[in-house]
Amino acid sequence: MTTDTLFARIVRGEIPAQIVYQDDEVTAFRDIHPAAPVHVLIVPNRVIPTLNDASAEDEVLLGKLFLTAQRLARELGIDQSGYRVVMNTNADAGQSVAHIHLHLLGGRRLTWPPG
């Protein structure tokens, strides 16, 4: 499994990013093309290419991605106004980086369903 995804390079500090949180397991940084006033990507430091590749061993890590989104939503002031957490998988969903990531979006009224 490759460890050299774009996001792995951000995790390792090899590519600059606006990191808003990092620990031994997850990294969160601002999306370079924000689709909302708050648009943060939350990634596991270890590469899992798509959600299809996750296994039972990743259960706690996947939960941590969501709890990190919850905490950042609070810290960034969108927990009460509302926010969306999305993980795209493969081509039809528009996944463009093969390293799973949660999008945390908020700060404006989001439409539903997504396009």
- Is residue 33 among the annotated active site residues? no
Single out the segment in contact with ligand AMP by CB under 6 A; choices: 20-28, 49-57, 67-75, 94-102.
94-102
Compute the chain's Rg from CA coordinates.
14
**Own/partner long-range contacts of 78-84 (Cβ < 8 Å, ≥24 apart):** 78/38, 78/106, 78/107, 81/106, 81/107, 82/106, 82/110, 83/38, 84/110
Which of 5, 27, 68, 88 touches ligand AMP by CB under 6 A? 88
Nearer to ligand AMP, 56 or 65 (CB): 65
Does 17 engage in binding with ligand AMP (CB under 6 A)?
Answer: yes
Helices (H), 16-95: 59-75, 90-93
| Per-position x/- string for 46-75, each x denoting binding to ligand AMP as judged by CB under 6 A, each - no binding | ------------------------------
Number of residues that bind ligand AMP (CB under 6 A): 13
Helices (H), the chain: 6-11, 59-75, 90-93
Which of 22, 31, 76, 84 touches ligand AMP by CB under 6 A? 31
DSSP state of 76: T
Binding stretches for ligand AMP (CB under 6 A): 6, 15, 17, 29, 31-33, 41, 88, 94-97
